[in-house]
Structure 1
Amino acid sequence: MAKPSLEPFFNPETVAVVGASSTPGKVGHTVMENMLSAGFRGKLLPVNPKGGDIMGVEAVTSVEHLPRGVDLAVVAVPRRFVIDTARELASIGCRSVIVITAGFKEVGHKGYDLEQELAGICRDADMALLGPNCLGMINSPAGVNASFAAGQPLPGNIAFFSQSGALCVAILDWARGAGIGFSKFVSLGNKALMDEADMLRYLDSDPETDVILGYVENVENGKDFLLRAETVTRNKPVIMIKSGSTAAGAKAASSHTGAIAGSDSAYGTAFRKAGVIRVRDVESLFNLALAFSEQPLPKGPNVGIVTNSGGPGILAADDAVLHGLSVPSLTPRTVMRLQEFLPGYAAFNNPVDIIGDADAERYAATMEVVAEDPTVHSLLVMLTPTAAVGIEDTAKAVARTAERCGKPVFASFIGGRRVGAGRKILREAGIPCYDFPAAAVESIYAMHSHAVRRHRPQPEYLDAYRDVERARKVLRESAARGEREVVEFRAQEVASAYGLDVPGTLLARSSEEAVRGADAIGYPVALKIASPQISHKTDVDGVAVGLKNAEAVAEAFSDITSRATRMRPDAYIAGCLVQEMAPAGSREVIVGFKRDDQFGPLLMFGLGGVYVEIVKDVALRLAPLSKQDAFEIVREIRSYLLLKGIDGGPYANFDKLEEVILTMSRLAVDLPEVLEAEFNPVLVGPERAVVADVRITLDPKVGSS
């Protein structure tokens, strides 16, 4: 069902305040006061059972006396009246509603039921709903402040939405002090109907918004959010805080992938896929917001640094390199031009240290020359408050020069009280100015990354061979036997159905069968315990490798099965898998996925063994993965060089490895009945990528068909 337009919500011509009050301190009074002081140009309609004059506006006594087709109603009545009020608003064709009232799903089961009833009424009436339990909404350019926040925000080109009303109040107060303005400001509250995806849908085409900020605690419709965000971030930067960054509340999972791919990992990976810039605190949120709202995007990663102090300049250069930016050497022509007017003891290359006695003119001249260097894409101007520097004059000179240079300019005036006036001058001139260079570098990096993403080609996906029906048949049969985890022998069949290179494998129920299997496969072989209840074979020492003859195989079978029976008396021991050994010189890697409740299959890649168990050197992506994703995920882990080969050692066939990763992605998309899957290990050598072990866990909530 299509969602209602948000145009009447953000740009109403008629606004009703249900629960309007002439008593200061009441929510209905604050909403009326905010609407009047915002300069609302439409018709304001207070609703109060007593009628009369409310703040100079004649009130009606009930909703039924409002004109039909009210654009926006703000509901600030006790909870017991909210449902009836919503029905009455629906009956007069109200187009959107903000329910400020609290006491819904945030207070328990009864509140949840009331919220569902409220949402149903609004949905059936095609009436947009913000809240309940929210602060309200502000649209500064339209003169709409349908909130109970104290005071009016400054106008600006930044939109902000938040689940937390308390955070909204604090940010509004802080932003006024910092001189930061907003185009839109929305408190989402309980998100009964209107959510982050709806905000992105509207703000994408909002001409008054250039930068979108958000605070989220959870995203309930992850796929809709991703779809919207991927579209919006090609046009505008979206910068968000996600609270709850620890895995303390995440459910435990049986696989390595499930254990590593917790809730916060899923959100971080989802934001990355969608192009959303994630920050960890409010300060960083607005540092980036100001940069994006005031400066053009850099056309490359190269930063030119101008400073009056060598130490901070070196720190800034280090930060830039650590972020993946470059601090290039300046061209010989640029160096010669700098030598014409800088003291002989200055540092003429990048960072350019113009020495502590630099005045405003020296700053301006150096900025102009460095900005004209063709290797420089953005400029960072730094100042420490030496006795000689004129801080305010320098700030004015930096601002004037920045207007002419045609490249993004950032500043860091390091200090406290002495540099405060200079920072204020720069910020008023639209030059982002930071207390320390690390924050400036973070902004430059975020803007560069956003610019790169906007120009990336459309993703290309692998059309992998797969026999989906054959794979589903295995899953149906396992589910029919009541298995939560597919027995490995059958799981290998699923891998084969997807065209993966799996080792020759036979199930042996006795030592004699194990020997016959080994004779058929060819020595040496490996033996692995076969039990649907034993997920991690190493827990029972259930693997033997390099078995070179029949005696070794028979002995290993007896040892493995007896030990497993003793250590896991609850487990059904089917026997052992007899398996072809991996090619010599192979590296062990792990490829797995866990189905996240919000965002779908979250795929993990890393080196196997201790690297995944202890070091957790892994990379994550959301399925489906493109070919570019597979290329990047392999090279993202810290131990990538071990796969590439060091000092003539064995190397991995990256084409084969990327095919395995893309096939796992395809399997995750094709088979919703699979909750988790893991190829561990995948044995990658110069010629092959062999999927040696397969684990598949079924989702009991999804039937195989």
Structure 2
Amino acid sequence: MLSRSFSVLKTRNVVRALSTSLKSYPINGFFDAKSYAIIGASEKQGSLGYIISDNFYHKFQGKTYFVNPKGGKLFDQPIYKSASEIPDTIEGVVISISAKFTVDALKQCLERGAKWVTIVPGGFRETGTKEGIEAEKEIVRLANEYKCRIIGPNCMGVYDPRNVDTMFIGDRGLSKPKLGPVGLFSQSGALGTALLNELSGATQEPWISRFISFGNACDVDEKDCIDYYEQDPSVKQIWAYMEGFHNAPEFIRSVKRISQKKPVMVLKANRGNSGAKASASHSASLAANDAVCDQLLRNAGAIRCDVWADLHNIGTVLRNQPLPKGRRVAVVTDAGGFGVLLADSVDTYKMNLTDFSPETIKKFRATFPPFYACSNPMDLTGSVKTHEFIEAAKLALDDPNVDSVIFAYQPGAPGLELPLEMAKTIEKNFGPGKTKKPFIVLEFGGKYPDDDVIRDYLKQVGMSCSGPEEGMRVLAKLADYSEYLQLMGAVKSETHPKIDAQLINGYVNKVASKGRYTLTEIEGYDILSACGIRTPDYKLVTAGNDAADFLSKAKTDAKDKFVAKIVSPNIIHKSDVGGVKLGLTTPEEACAVVNELNAKFSKQGIDYHGVMLYKMVPFGTEMMIGANRDATFGPITVSGLGGVLVEVLKDVVFNMCPVSVEEAQMSLDNLKTQKMLNGFRGQPALNRAKFAEYIAIVSEIMTQCEQIKEIDINPLIQLHDGSLTAVDSVFTLKKN
């Protein structure tokens, strides 16, 4: 199964390459078309063709044409034996017949003027068979020829509570939510429709504006969906379920642009190998390294949902509550145990259990009994009365040290109102529009009378869930998004360094033309220096006397020490083979070392260029910048602490190329080793601006010089004056 899946993955790019020319045509017609043909309509109740026809006909406001070779009537409308018999031009089409008949039916529809076609059945590329792959390629070829957009195959299609429903699950099997603010798209049709069902059943609030299930995505994919929702004024939030990417770099760029206007929530599966294998066989999508995926989504301002419930929970708070201005949270509870659990989750989600201001503490002590704790969590004990609970929560909300409040209580406690009345009181005091800070309600306990009604009230004030971990996670995700908006709002313009790409490309192409695909360290230094990244001043020597002469001239201080390092593209880790000598202090020592290295390496049959000498860079903070061409996201940079720590700590951040200096600097806040970067044991704080500039330079090299496959600069040493010097670098080229 797995080997078949990888062969299927290879065909995805072939099929997708055929559809790139379609991207200039809009997809709005899937929702706005004035006429639709249902291919495979059936009079047989319970059949796929009947359910789709029933759902569609009774929702659609335009003209519907039914097609089935058997003919007949459906809902008092004629069933045409082929699309060719339809007397009028058709704009939209839903195809629900066997894969082997789909191509011919599609061609008939295209000849009748169809511009938006949803192909529901499977049996195409996802099967891994030659027949399925070729059929999907032919679908895309026809779409190109007739300038038509395709959703599917192997999908549920589209849903709009106002007008369109192509899904093949009837009302008895699927409860569909009312018209609301969310634009949802899903790679999995089943998961997407299950989410619709849950949204409809969980609350009476309206939720969905548009839904798109794109399946194999032979044409319309996640980028088309998010770009469409960007322009749709009825969509206020964008939700996505994805297992893999079809055009990851462009999707990430769209997310970055759109997330500053509308929140984008992404539930991305395939966090590990098991998920990747499952989705490869299910929908033919290759999972990217999840650490890279997670970082790039965060960099673009997406809200990455960890579990299914996050979409609904975060979406509920977003539609009813303001965003937090920071990470300082106050917990108000009637049970110490709840408070302890919430306090534990603060560190997990990088929130701050803030101290209350002196004014708040003064008011609290003047208002409440002495056994109520005005610490954070604010523990009001099981003796608290409803009015006291509300007053304490208002004190917490008004505190200038507080950015958000979690109100955790157990309905039915002796001093509180009955559960339904308590919910109404909470909504009355803290409902939508009544607070300037997010107010999250956590209801602990089991079922109560009128439980569904209670939860509806609490949903309106942003009750996220029944557990402390999920409640704190919701706040943390919203704080992340708020921080992103604040940072991007402060960026007036983005800086992209200028590099001489023509010079670099000429340099690397000359090397590659000789059949060599690793640059020497000197060649790497030359490229970095030309781009503005500081490197040591070096001298390439081939004889001991030349080394002695260089040292005598270059040594300006008695404390100066020098490095001798062999130069060969065949040996990357030179210290492992004794190709590096440190601490040279005299011309005589340099002469002897160079002669020794020449004797050892010049006769090994390697491409040996000689020995490079340079002054040792003083001890300082070691950083690293790397770059490679990710199979999913294209060129990316990776940066963090360098030297041996990069392998031990594995604390790095990723950026998609090209990245601006400002974005690169923001991404550094995601490193876990902030204490070391802010100055540790006498070391100066990292010069973040210069380090970010170097990251941006490397990203420009990768963007503009496609012959370069990988770059590894490690260590990049920061000195006490804040300057950074690239001490070691490796450039690897693509093999043609």
TM-score of the aligned structures, taking structure 1 as reference length: 0.89
How far, CA to CA, are the matches of 2:717 and 2:358 in structure 1?
51
| Aligned residue identity for 1:646 | F
Q: Unpaired runs of 5+ in structure 1?
A: 251-260
| Secondary structure at 2:24 match in 1 | coil
Equivalent residue runs for 1:433-452 within 5 Å:
433-452=464-483
How much does 1:102 deviate?
Answer: 1.0
Task: Report the counterpart of residue 523 of structure 2 in structure 1.
Answer: 490
* Contact 2:626-2:710 within 8 A present in 1 as well: yes
1:274 aligns with 2:309: no
Task: Report the counterpart of residue 217 of structure 2 in structure 1.
Answer: 191
2:484 to 440, 453, 462: 453
Q: Deviations over 1:598-639 (max 9, x none)?
A: 433211112222211222122222233333334334454333
Equivalent residue runs for 1:40-51 within 5 Å:
40-51=60-71
| Aligned residue identity for 1:188 | F
2:702 to 668, 671, 689: 668
How much does 1:231 deviate?
Answer: 2.1
- Which range moved further: 123-132 or 363-372? 363-372
2:563 to 512, 520, 526: 526
Alpha carbons of 1:693 and 1:29: their partners in 2 closer, same or farther (altered >3 Å)?
A: same
Alpha carbons of 1:654 and 1:371: their partners in 2 closer, same or farther (altered >3 Å)?
A: closer
Alpha carbons of 1:643 and 1:266: their partners in 2 closer, same or farther (altered >3 Å)?
A: closer
Q: Which runs of 4+ in 1 moved over 6 A?
A: 247-250, 561-566
Task: Report the counterpart of residue 615 of structure 2 in structure 1.
Answer: 581
How far, CA to CA, are the matches of 1:483 and 1:107 in structure 2?
41
Q: Deviations over 1:172-193 (max 9, x none)?
A: 4444432374222221101111
2:444 to 400, 404, 414: 414
Task: Report the counterpart of residue 177 of structure 2 in structure 1.
Answer: 154
How much does 1:554 deviate?
Answer: 5.1
1:31 to 52, 56, 62: 52
1:549 aligns with 2:586: yes
Task: Report the counterpart of residue 383 of structure 1 in structure 2.
Answer: 409
| Aligned residue identity for 1:487 | T
Aligned-pair identity (%):
26
* Contact 1:266-1:596 within 8 A present in 2 as well: no
Task: Report the counterpart of residue 423 of structure 2 in structure 1.
Answer: 395
Alpha carbons of 1:430 and 1:119: their partners in 2 closer, same or farther (altered >3 Å)?
A: farther
| Secondary structure at 1:316 match in 2 | helix
Q: Deviations over 1:5-62 (max 9, x none)?
A: 222212333222100112244321221122245x333322211111112244321111
How far, CA to CA, are the matches of 1:562 and 1:247 in structure 2?
48
Task: Report the counterpart of residue 258 of structure 1 in structure 2.
Answer: none
Alpha carbons of 1:563 and 1:20: their partners in 2 closer, same or farther (altered >3 Å)?
A: farther
1:97 aligns with 2:117: yes
How much does 1:337 deviate?
Answer: 4.4
Alpha carbons of 1:477 and 1:385: their partners in 2 closer, same or farther (altered >3 Å)?
A: same
Task: Report the counterpart of residue 253 of structure 1 in structure 2.
Answer: none
Task: Report the counterpart of residue 75 of structure 1 in structure 2.
Answer: 95
How far, CA to CA, are the matches of 2:465 and 2:623 in structure 1?
43
Task: Report the counterpart of residue 256 of structure 1 in structure 2.
Answer: none
Alpha carbons of 1:653 and 1:574: their partners in 2 closer, same or farther (altered >3 Å)?
A: same
Alpha carbons of 1:126 and 1:547: their partners in 2 closer, same or farther (altered >3 Å)?
A: same
* Contact 2:56-2:165 within 8 A present in 1 as well: yes
Equivalent residue runs for 1:52-451 within 5 Å:
52-108=72-128, 109-140=130-161, 142-149=162-169, 150-155=173-178, 156-179=180-203, 181-246=207-272, 263-320=289-346, 323-339=349-365, 341-384=367-410, 387-388=413-414, 389=416, 390-403=418-431, 405-407=434-436, 408-418=438-448, 420=451, 424-427=455-458, 429-451=460-482
* Contact 2:643-2:714 within 8 A present in 1 as well: no
Q: Unpaired runs of 5+ in structure 2?
A: 1-20, 277-286
Alpha carbons of 1:13 and 1:287: their partners in 2 closer, same or farther (altered >3 Å)?
A: same
* Contact 1:247-1:263 within 8 A present in 2 as well: no
Equivalent residue runs for 1:498-647 within 5 Å:
498-509=531-542, 511=544, 514-519=547-552, 521-522=554-555, 524-550=561-587, 552-553=589-590, 556-557=593-594, 572-634=606-668, 636-647=670-681
How much does 1:506 deviate?
Answer: 3.0
* Contact 1:136-1:148 within 8 A present in 2 as well: no
Task: Report the counterpart of residue 480 of structure 1 in structure 2.
Answer: 513
* Contact 2:243-2:270 within 8 A present in 1 as well: yes
How much does 1:640 deviate?
Answer: 4.2
* Contact 1:305-1:350 within 8 A present in 2 as well: yes
* Contact 1:540-1:563 within 8 A present in 2 as well: no
Alpha carbons of 1:45 and 1:651: their partners in 2 closer, same or farther (altered >3 Å)?
A: closer
Task: Report the counterpart of residue 15 of structure 2 in structure 1.
Answer: none
How far, CA to CA, are the matches of 2:625 and 2:61 in structure 1?
59
How far, CA to CA, are the matches of 2:403 and 2:679 in structure 1?
35
How much does 1:346 deviate?
Answer: 0.9
Alpha carbons of 1:650 and 1:447: their partners in 2 closer, same or farther (altered >3 Å)?
A: closer
How far, CA to CA, are the matches of 2:585 and 2:399 in structure 1?
67
Q: Deviations over 1:334-382 (max 9, x none)?
A: 4454445533311235433222133433333333443344544433211
| Secondary structure at 1:198 match in 2 | helix
| Aligned residue identity for 2:478 | M
| Secondary structure at 1:572 match in 2 | coil
How far, CA to CA, are the matches of 2:663 and 2:600 in structure 1?
42
TM-score of the aligned structures, taking structure 2 as reference length: 0.85
| Aligned residue identity for 2:441 | A
* Contact 1:391-1:422 within 8 A present in 2 as well: no
| Secondary structure at 1:434 match in 2 | coil
Alpha carbons of 1:428 and 1:193: their partners in 2 closer, same or farther (altered >3 Å)?
A: same
| Secondary structure at 1:696 match in 2 | strand
Q: Deviations over 1:484-524 (max 9, x none)?
A: 11222222211121132211223344555555554554463
How far, CA to CA, are the matches of 2:73 and 2:262 in structure 1?
44
* Contact 1:154-1:182 within 8 A present in 2 as well: yes
* Contact 2:602-2:608 within 8 A present in 1 as well: no
How far, CA to CA, are the matches of 1:26 and 1:185 in structure 2?
23
How far, CA to CA, are the matches of 2:554 and 2:506 in structure 1?
26
- Which range moved further: 484-493 or 551-560? 551-560
Alpha carbons of 1:396 and 1:59: their partners in 2 closer, same or farther (altered >3 Å)?
A: same
* Contact 1:423-1:433 within 8 A present in 2 as well: no
| Aligned residue identity for 2:144 | R
How far, CA to CA, are the matches of 1:67 and 1:514 in structure 2?
89
Equivalent residue pairs, number: 686
Q: Deviations over 1:281-300 (max 9, x none)?
A: 21223222222233333344
How far, CA to CA, are the matches of 1:483 and 1:247 in structure 2?
35
| Secondary structure at 1:632 match in 2 | helix
| Secondary structure at 2:41 match in 1 | coil
* Contact 2:659-2:696 within 8 A present in 1 as well: yes
Task: Report the counterpart of residue 682 of structure 1 in structure 2.
Answer: 716
How much does 1:655 deviate?
Answer: 4.7
Task: Report the counterpart of residue 257 of structure 1 in structure 2.
Answer: none
